[in-house]
Structure 1
Amino acid sequence: MKITDIRTRYLRLPSPAVSGDNLQDLLIIEVLTDEGIIGLGEVHTNPDAARAIIDGSGYHTSSRGLREILVGEDPGEIGRLWDRMYALTQSYGRRGLAVHAISGIDIALWDILGKALGKPVYQVLGSVRRTSVPAYASDLTPPGHDEAIQTARRHVDAGFRAVKLGWGALGSDIAADIELVRRLREAVGPSIDLMVDLGMPVALDDAIRLGRALADYGVYFLEEPLSPDDLDGWRRLVDQSPTPVACGEKETTRYGFRDLMERGGLRIVQPDVARAGGITECLRIAALAELHRVRVIPHCWSSDILVAATMHLITTLSDCPYLEYNAMEQPLRTQLITEPIRPRDGIVHVPEGPGLGIELNEEVAGRYEIR
């Protein structure tokens, strides 16, 4: 089998607005083969920029476009192709955007391999430890405390046993954040796991203050109160916060996660399969985390393409208590595949069909595609 082309499809809601919801637009990846098998993936980043990485030409050995690197290659040689993409984009890549684009293609290559073998990706990966996992409802923080409490209660009533609120006004007033968490705990009771995601960094002293205060309310983890580059700050925060802290959605490759674990001291890392390097690199990150006895709870805030890819990864993880589940109601989240992935009693099951086990809803994709 040979790769014949890579298609990029840019989907966007009619009236996007700057906010913490980065599923207002989406870049879908389709890897085509000479045997008619099409692999499906997505890139979790700026779509226009990622499209340029994939579609662009390049004549310097280490500054090439991903399509020209891959056309004519055997899609089943996934590890070799990952290394080739990484090596031939090193002049402008190595971290960040280029790895985001590689991630989407890598997901699609695993989809092809599973389809070619007639097996779901998790069976091809081997080392199956689970085929289902509890999901935590992940949502943006409404502007008012009463609205936030209503949001959390709605997710608990829907069957989720864990809820994360993030971004929004969080981080602008630490005392108000602590009061919100106090009220959330009072509203949902002691048996629900609560997570808090600041999204953007605050001062180290404020992060330490939060870490100490939120421990009184049993917060499961405090996410991204610091920049992923502030490795010394993470080390100090981990040492002083009784609340577990987590980071990783903005990091890429095993090298970045090695720094978070070894220099930053992180005990929970959150690689995003559509950013950190795809399934291939997330397996490497997970192996490194297991060596360091660090828990992996992947970041997963996008369409059901990413949910499916993340679930296949989670089947292999030695220690993963939750799937992050974007609980927002908007079409690119809820309608993009023909059989949407939904929790049952708060539990999500890995898709069982060949490859990723999902199929794109072409009517919905066509409705939002920017041609």
Structure 2
Amino acid sequence: PLYRLLGGYQEQLPVYASAGFYAQDKGVQQLGEEVAGYIERGFQCVKIKVGRQPDALLNPLHQMPATDYATVSFEEDVARVQAARAALGPTRKLAIDANNAWTPSLALKFMAAVKDQDIYWLEEPVATDDLDGSALVAHQLTTPVSGYETETGLPGFRDLITRHAVDIVQPDVIWTGGITECRKVAALAQAFGLPVIPHVFSSAVATIANMHFIASIPNGSWLEWDQNPNALRSELFEEPLTVDATGHVRLLDRPGLGVTLNQATLERYRIDRHRP
């Protein structure tokens, strides 16, 4: 297996449920019920979205065609976090992801409002290129700051790490130059004593590649497990990627990535592009 050729530090990985997305018909109660469902499936860590306040300065929502889509107030967002924590109980882990929605001051205000919710990490609180802002947030909080999935190469991660703008390093194999480049990022993170929790949010190919990456490094931690329906993740391989009852996924003892593409799925979702 590729991960073993590259170091083989883990044969099974703890995964977290990447979930808690906004929707027009999903209130605080529905979010709590959703999170409870992940516990029943064995997940020991859940991440939910935060930051969908339309009146927040510089919020990326302002660039969207429908800025009122599934938005919530600051107070409602705090209540969402409280509901998720109540569903998880005191021992399981809760992370939150702002997707670059806040200014540093708003990030600190929100974290003060949820200071008693035992947040495991805060992901992407500010814009990826706001290194000073991210460093300010990281220095002010005892909660680790994670980021930034939208950084695309070693030089950018060098700046995030050396300027202490993140406490958890978050590359993605399909966005950050492949497994080789991500391993360089991970080595730099290791030199600074930082863990790596990759961003994983695409097809099954992206998932399996990130699995081998994170299993091959000594400072690999959790693996993101997207809970959105995605046929190109759930149906793309002959060998299904499944989470066991303890919240882990095991890598297969086969050469390379260890999986076989399902040709029927490829044909079903194939798009023939027009070429002039």
TM-score (norm 1): 0.64
| Partner residue, 1:20 | none
Alpha-carbon offset, residue 141 of structure 1: 1.5
Gaps of 5+ in 2: 57-71
| In 1: Cα distance, 2:166 partner to 2:52 partner | 25
Q: Is contact 1:249–1:299 with CA below 8 Å preserved after alignment?
A: yes
| In 2: Cα distance, 1:225 partner to 1:316 partner | 28
- 1:323-354: CA deviation from partner (whole Å, max 9, x where unpaired): 11112233122111111211112111112221
| In 1: Cα distance, 2:229 partner to 2:268 partner | 17
The higher radius of gyration belongs to: 1
Moved more, 300-309 or 281-290: 300-309
Residue type at the aligned position of 1:136: Y
Does residue 364 of the first structure (1) align with residue 265 of the second (2)? yes
| Partner residue, 1:289 | 189
Distance 1:167 1:175, change over 3 A: closer
Distance 1:168 1:353, change over 3 A: farther
1:259-298 equivalent positions in 2, closer than 5 A: 259-298=159-198
Equivalent residue for 1:353, pick from 240, 254, 266: 254
| In 1: Cα distance, 2:251 partner to 2:130 partner | 35
| In 1: Cα distance, 2:88 partner to 2:237 partner | 32
Residue type at the aligned position of 2:10: R
- 1:85-104: CA deviation from partner (whole Å, max 9, x where unpaired): xxxxxxxxxxxxxxxxxxxx
| In 2: Cα distance, 1:362 partner to 1:231 partner | 44
Does residue 165 of the first structure (1) align with residue 48 of the second (2)? yes
Q: Identity, % of aligned pairs?
A: 36
Gaps of 5+ in 1: 1-119
| In 2: Cα distance, 1:227 partner to 1:352 partner | 40
Residue type at the aligned position of 2:130: D
Moved more, 329-338 or 272-281: 329-338
Q: Is contact 1:268–1:297 with CA below 8 Å preserved after alignment?
A: yes
| Partner residue, 2:240 | 340
Q: Is contact 1:135–1:160 with CA below 8 Å preserved after alignment?
A: yes
| In 2: Cα distance, 1:244 partner to 1:183 partner | 21
Alpha-carbon offset, residue 278 of structure 1: 0.4
Distance 1:168 1:361, change over 3 A: farther
| In 2: Cα distance, 1:279 partner to 1:140 partner | 28
Equivalent residue for 1:189, pick from 64, 89, 112: 89
Q: Which has the higher contact order (CA 8 A, sep 6+)?
A: 2
Does residue 130 of the first structure (1) align with residue 10 of the second (2)? yes
Equivalent residue for 1:154, pick from 37, 40, 44: 37
| In 2: Cα distance, 1:304 partner to 1:250 partner | 19
Q: Is contact 2:20–2:34 with CA below 8 Å preserved after alignment?
A: no
Residue type at the aligned position of 1:348: V
- 1:47-86: CA deviation from partner (whole Å, max 9, x where unpaired): xxxxxxxxxxxxxxxxxxxxxxxxxxxxxxxxxxxxxxxx
Does residue 211 of the first structure (1) align with residue 94 of the second (2)? no
Alpha-carbon offset, residue 267 of structure 1: 1.0
Alpha-carbon offset, residue 167 of structure 1: 6.2
Q: Is contact 1:232–1:264 with CA below 8 Å preserved after alignment?
A: no
Residue type at the aligned position of 1:198: A
User: Greater strand share, 1 or 2?
Assistant: 1
| In 2: Cα distance, 1:350 partner to 1:305 partner | 13
For the residue of structure 1 that corresponds to 2:77, the secondary structure is helix
Does residue 246 of the first structure (1) align with residue 146 of the second (2)? yes
Q: CA RMSD in A?
A: 1.7
The count of residues paired between Structure 1 and Structure 2 equals 251
Alpha-carbon offset, residue 277 of structure 1: 0.9
TM-score (norm 2): 0.86
Q: Is contact 1:238–1:245 with CA below 8 Å preserved after alignment?
A: yes
- 1:187-220: CA deviation from partner (whole Å, max 9, x where unpaired): 2201111111111321221101123333311111
For the residue of structure 2 that corresponds to 1:307, the secondary structure is helix
Residue type at the aligned position of 2:145: V
